Structure 1
Amino acid sequence: MDELEYEIHGESSHSAKYFARNIKSRDTSSDSRWTAASPLGPEPQFIVLKLDQVCVLKSVLMGKYYKSHPCNVQVFEVHVGQDPSRMTLVLRDQLQDNGIWETFNVLWRDADGLPIACRYVKIVPISTHHATFHPSLWHVSLYGTSDEDQVEAIRADLLLRKEARAIRLMAKYLRQRGFQDPCTQLLAQSGQTLEHPCVTTLRDALAHGDWAAAEHAIRSAVESGLFDEHLQSTRPTLVWRRLRGTNADGDVPPGLTEHSMCFDPHEQTVFVIGGWDGTQHVCDVHAYAVANDRWRSLSLEGAPQNLQHHRSVLDSFDGCLYVFVPVPDEGSPPTEGAGDQSSSLSMSASVVDTLLRVSPRKSGKFALYRCTTRCDPCTWTCISSNISSVGGPGYTLDFDVTLDTETRTVYMRTSPLSQRNGEPKTASQLHSYSLGTGEWTALPPAKDLPALRGRLCAVGDATQGSRLWMLGANGPTSAMSVHTVDVRTSDVDAVPPAGAPNSGLKPPSSLVLEPTLGNQELQEVYIFHETTGGEGGHVIGEPNTLWIYQCRRRRWMTTQPGPARPGKQPPERVVFQSAYDPQTQTFYQFGGLLVHGLPQQKPLGQLWRAKLQRPTRVDILNKAMFALREQQFLEMCRAGVGEIETLEFIRSGIVPFINVADRRTVQDFCSTVARLYGVKDSEGGGGDDSVSDGDSAAAKQNDERVALFDALVEMVNPSAREPAENLLDVVDSVLL
């Protein structure tokens, strides 16, 4: 990335000699800063920077005073744009109150994945570490792409997209005003489309009351995937079941924490590796066969000893387990603030926090072991007793691994932590390990990766190559952030920050990212809710909730809460582990500690299965067909069709599409039947729907058909329907 040159374009205010131009200096003295004329209040304070040329901003370096300062900004935002009056939020984050300069990656791609070109950058303080002090900013450096050819290509592409949007808005306006011929000519000559042909057919069919054509259009739209984005955005549910299988002797594995779990999709087997059983760390490996509900133990000959704080992945190609084991040096000094072993059973659900308290050493190495699981007995092999000697990362308290199953590549993130507060003191580092060749590679450059306490998830993209999703926070109090790493180009990309337009739901900063799982086909990352915070470390939020990050939509969502019935879902727990079967969208969970009764308790030995259930294309088809048939039925009643015929239509035409589990749908059906007999429904509406005045009846029928069309099209993928904006509204925003 290039350092981008800029000049001060404007500021909201300044205090005394603390002008905005001071932020260009790298001096850390008290005078080398911009300070607003007043504390933060209703009137926003900001600085606007003007780049020397149009660029793509990718990161911001925020300098600080050499130590803590009462005027230090805490939460801040960064906006970019080609016009200072129309800007886009690309970053919302917070600075620590210390003398360490911090680099923040910003959102530099739009919702379509295309780079955001800008000429102006606006920095807005939101809060300070001491509320009554005026906000101050020290040095600011900007980094990104300034290559003229690249930027010109981005601007040209942006111009084409603007032109396409303008044409579609004009076509929509012409059609609304009834100018069908000019609308058709505009679209034909420009090569643009206003909407998918199925949507056009549905519109015309409803307008003319051609119910057969309307139903055919709906079926075609469903088969063409026009409702798939709506299905993906609908909150799924988790259906839980406790698995009570035993081994041949009638026993089950002991309760565990600090273990790891893997799933073999070909053998349909869950593996539980190592962990703490309440009295000691164990190196046992237990395998659960889903098909016959039976546990077995694997051979321990050659296995690593004292498995704790390790990470494991399973290669589905040959069924081998790869276990990454931190091995502290015997002679290294103790970690600052380390406590006794009982503190590992504390309220904190973060393994990193546990490591910081109980790890006896702050230096060491990583060992890598392989275990063959598809032969009896299994065999253990120590691939390397010190992976840093063969190109792998060095020892650290905070690390994570993930496996790209398509390329059979393991990615390992390491983040050296401050011994004082457990926060990353340098940028995270990323290494890859090829299971095929056994070679380690360091990538990407460490300066490009954010310093996060977080987790990795390998979710590839067939159109963009393998991509890693990195989730985490700069520290225990920092906001949750998501970054992507393109392993081909080493590009690091930040997703929309909290508060960005269309950023949607955001998880709490205290969400513990352990474990983190992914689905390659659906392009989703999964994190089970395990949040701690507040006085005494009380758990915040609904237990047994799954957070889902949808990579294509770049949105968070959660599962719908299930029934709070004892025994029907796991008890409220922390420090459990999970494995995932992507073929059946099923999770397996084992171990953990009950929230109530900590810290004097033993780990749980329960195995639970959670199946992720989503609405399907059949569900959306039934919903749409029910809406069409209900409207058709109402018009039959108004047209005077006999009761026998209408009752038969209900039986054969409406009942097959009713979702009896949906209470609202059932109520709608009952209301529809009530209209047949002119009976008022429970909501006070109803009565005979006949209208004496012909013109009024036609107008009402037309309004109902338009409302039905709008309701159906609202579920269609945005790219397949006409633009949501109106041309007149766009003109008003420009004129005003």
Structure 2
Amino acid sequence: MNDVRVLKYAIHQCSSFSSTYVAENILWDRPNDQSSRWSSETNHPPQFLVLKLERAAIVKEITFGKYEKTHVCNLKKFKVSGGMTDSTMIELLDSGLKNDSQPETFTLKHTIKAHLFPCRFIKITPIQSWGPSFNFSIWHIQLKGNDDPSVVKESLIWFNHYREREAIRLCLKHFRQHNYTEVFESLQKRTRVQLEDELLTKLHELLVVRGDFKATEELLEETACKGLFDEYIRKQAYKPKWMPINPASNNVRPGMRGGHQMCIDPYSETIYLYGGWDGSQDLADLWCYNIAKSEWICISKDTSLEGGPSARSCHKMCLDPQRKKIFLLGRYLDSAIHYFFQSDFYVYDTEANKWQLITDDTAAMGGPKLVFDHQMCLDVEKNTLYVFGGRILSPNVTDERHTSCPDQPNFSGLFSYHVPTNMWHKLCDDISSTSSPQGNQGIKSRIGHSMLFHEKLRSLYIFAGQRQKEYLSDFFTYNVDTHEINVICDGEHSEVPAAGFTQRATLDAELNEIHVLSGLNKDKDKREDSVKNSFWVYDILQNRWSCIYKNDSMCNSVVNEKSEPCPRFAHQLVYDNIKKIHYLFGGNPGRSHLPKVRLDDFWTLKLTRLSKSELLRNCKKLIREQHFKEIIAENPLEAVQYLQSELSETFDHSDAEEQKMFQLLASLMFKENTQKNESISEYDSHNCYKNRTKVFDTLVDYFPEEITQPKSNLVDLILL
């Protein structure tokens, strides 16, 4: 039996119109009736609509109906909460609606700790409408879920037990924080509820109760070795560190260019660069950069003279680090050229220094036609290439490489190429095409996008790009084994890198991260393109984007250009997944007064975040600071020695802020005797326990939440 059904509800409370007015409209789906909606009187908070279900249910879906046309009052952003009472709700959804006439359905959070969560009340809170300064309108709401009494009863029993257990844990935390030992032990013995994991209980015993600071540090070192701090470290924001690369003294280096291609062999520490556009012509030179020696080598000034590809830009190439092969496909051709619109396909053996023409026409083999600004990546294990998107070239192409496309251009679909058998297969056509293989879903093809392959997850990650005048910011995966498409986000409802063109992306399968450096962005307010670079990291496991770097300075000052690369597009970015370093070369700075100028600067980008050793150092600093303050009260001379040795080594004295903190601690030793006496009285038995507890509570934040005491405090529940 299907456990999802439409749930009946009534209007319980709203912030504007009377419940009678709302009930007569919101309950019925009338997309052609302008008046059939709940509409707030203002867009200032608090604005909300609370629905009361006929009976408690597991609410799994919410569907928003809309007006038959786009409307300025549609909800661009909103939140949905739910709970058993109208005063105790948790957030179930944070999203938004597209400004169109199509109903939208969202999945609501309906489990807590893998258990079903029952609701009697659902609250919709508008945050932003599509029209600036307009009020909010909700045209129709449908709720779906399971209100089977046996299912709901079981979830209610668990939920009430869960609330009871969490209430006891809050009490246990409060009693222990205030050293109410007898009450704490009595409650724990009576209820048999554990406050936390045994490891944290041991940490509390060593640090807070006994004041055994050395044993506390040893326990934290063991904890770090077990990886219990890894989750906390992973949540910390990266800090970008750009460094210009100045090659060795021979001064041989590739010239200025954009639209070139690069790939990296992390095992031999070699970067390969081919072709591009120097502002006046396409190039056919092949270079390699030896990372260890910090020098460029020109392998060939013109590969076409050595059996290789002709001069080109807007092509793609990727490297097989196991077999030492580089594959190259596609190029841009000007409309003035009226011949040879076939798609040649090359492979370069990096060890033998030899090019081979695989075919002069991939389309004749069942592969893509001649394309540019497509994407290509490699499944090393299966020795298979994947090619997606790109603009199909034909003699009537008239647009520039990075401008909007003319009416009805043709875009290429998704293809695979199996290297050992020399076989092409069309996996998916453009969504607008009717020639897609039967049974396959379509994909909206595009140019200037990003595509990466995650070998462990067996999926292609495809992001953004441009299709005619539309800048895309959708993000989805394609499983190469099952051919399933999964839309991660449509670009409308969550913070993602700005819709743009020629962004560059890399993937770290070990860290499960995708990195994106933006390029040419679409400024919707100014209705024009702008060059703004920003660096984003997508955490695959957490499904979360974070922006760690921005540079939208158009002045390109000499000072800035020495510390970080100026904004650009048509650049190239490769990633050493072993040493965790990005390499950036060249591009177009977008200077309208110098349209032919291209860049030849070379940079590394290192993403740094709090390391395990740094976190341990911070932990030891907290512990030793507490120990030091307690020693002052007992033996000032011993405190001086402890300050100069054990405590000092936990500070980074090259950091001005940390050095200042250390000096403030040292100043405690030089206060007047009256102040010292006050310091001594501060560290009596009761205050020692209280201050050690503060240190313990800080350390707890570094542990996984599922093994720690509750984050909230009992006293915070008391309202005046």
Q: Secondary structure at the match of 2:29?
A: helix
- Matched ranges for 1:246-257 at <5 A: 251-257=252-258
TM-superposed deviation, 1:725: 3.0
Q: What RMSD over aligned residues (CA atoms) do the two structures have, in Å?
A: 5.5
Q: Secondary structure at the match of 1:611?
A: strand
Using the alignment, how far apart are the partners of 1:155 and 1:468 within structure 2?
A: 43
Alignment equivalent of 1:660, drawn from 653, 663, 668: 653
Higher strand content, 1 or 2: 2
Using the alignment, how far apart are the partners of 2:572 and 2:114 within structure 1?
A: 33
Using the alignment, how far apart are the partners of 2:209 and 2:50 within structure 1?
A: 54
| Inter-CA distance 536–700: structure 2 relative to 1 (3 Å threshold) | same
Alignment equivalent of 1:604, drawn from 591, 594, 599: 599
Alignment equivalent of 2:353, drawn from 377, 380, 388: 377
Aligned residues: 667
| Inter-CA distance 252–696: structure 2 relative to 1 (3 Å threshold) | closer
Asked if the contact 2:502/2:520 (under 8 Å) is kept, the reply is no
TM-superposed deviation, 1:665: 1.7
Matched with 1:670 is 663
Matched with 1:195 is 197
Using the alignment, how far apart are the partners of 2:73 and 2:407 within structure 1?
A: 19
TM-superposed deviation, 1:586: 0.8
- Matched ranges for 1:416-427 at <5 A: none
TM-superposed deviation, 1:46: 6.2
- Matched ranges for 1:66-465 at <5 A: 69=70, 73=74, 75-77=76-78, 79=80, 86=89, 88=91, 90=93, 92-93=95-96, 95-96=98-99, 101=102, 167=165, 170-174=168-172, 176-177=174-175, 178=181, 179-181=183-185, 194-195=196-197, 197=199, 200-245=202-247, 251-292=252-293, 293-298=295-300, 299-300=303-304, 301-305=306-310, 307-325=312-330, 367=343, 369-382=345-358, 385-386=361-362, 390=366, 399-404=374-379, 410-414=385-389, 438=423, 440=425, 442=427, 454-459=449-454, 465=457
Alignment equivalent of 2:570, drawn from 575, 578, 593: 575
Matched with 2:554 is none
Using the alignment, how far apart are the partners of 1:16 and 1:214 within structure 2?
A: 60
- Matched ranges for 1:397-546 at <5 A: 399-404=374-379, 410-414=385-389, 438=423, 440=425, 442=427, 454-459=449-454, 465-472=457-464, 482-483=475-476, 490=484, 492=486, 494=488, 506-507=495-496, 509-510=498-499, 514-530=503-519, 532=521, 533=523, 535=526, 546=535
Q: Which digits, 9 at most, give the CA deviation of each residue in 1:29-80, with x for residues without a partner?
A: x4488444466623647697989985755x9797763xx6555737244747
TM-superposed deviation, 1:653: 1.0
Q: Which digits, 9 at most, give the CA deviation of each residue in 1:377-430, with x for residues without a partner?
A: 22233358345963x67888875344455665545444999x999999999976
| Inter-CA distance 327–239: structure 2 relative to 1 (3 Å threshold) | closer
- Matched ranges for 1:624-703 at <5 A: 624-641=619-636, 643=637, 645-678=638-671, 688-691=675-678, 697-703=684-690
30-39 or 155-164, larger mean C-alpha shift: 155-164
131-140 or 70-79, larger mean C-alpha shift: 131-140
What is the TM-score of this pair, normalised by structure 1?
0.72
TM-superposed deviation, 1:226: 2.4
Q: Which digits, 9 at most, give the CA deviation of each residue in 1:574-623, with x for residues without a partner?
A: 33210000111111111112255555232112222223333322212222
Asked if the contact 1:675/1:687 (under 8 Å) is kept, the reply is no
Using the alignment, how far apart are the partners of 2:161 and 2:408 within structure 1?
A: 45
Asked if the contact 1:414/1:430 (under 8 Å) is kept, the reply is yes
Matched with 1:706 is 693
Percent identity over paired residues: 17
Q: Secondary structure at the match of 1:707?
A: helix
Q: Which has the higher contact order (CA 8 A, sep 6+)?
A: 1
| Inter-CA distance 222–294: structure 2 relative to 1 (3 Å threshold) | same
Matched with 1:682 is none
Using the alignment, how far apart are the partners of 1:593 and 1:243 within structure 2?
A: 19
| Inter-CA distance 280–478: structure 2 relative to 1 (3 Å threshold) | closer
Q: Which runs of 5+ in 1 are unaligned?
A: 329-340, 342-357, 501-505, 680-685
Aligned partner of 2:29: which letter? I
Alignment equivalent of 2:542, drawn from 530, 543, 553: 553
Matched with 2:708 is 721
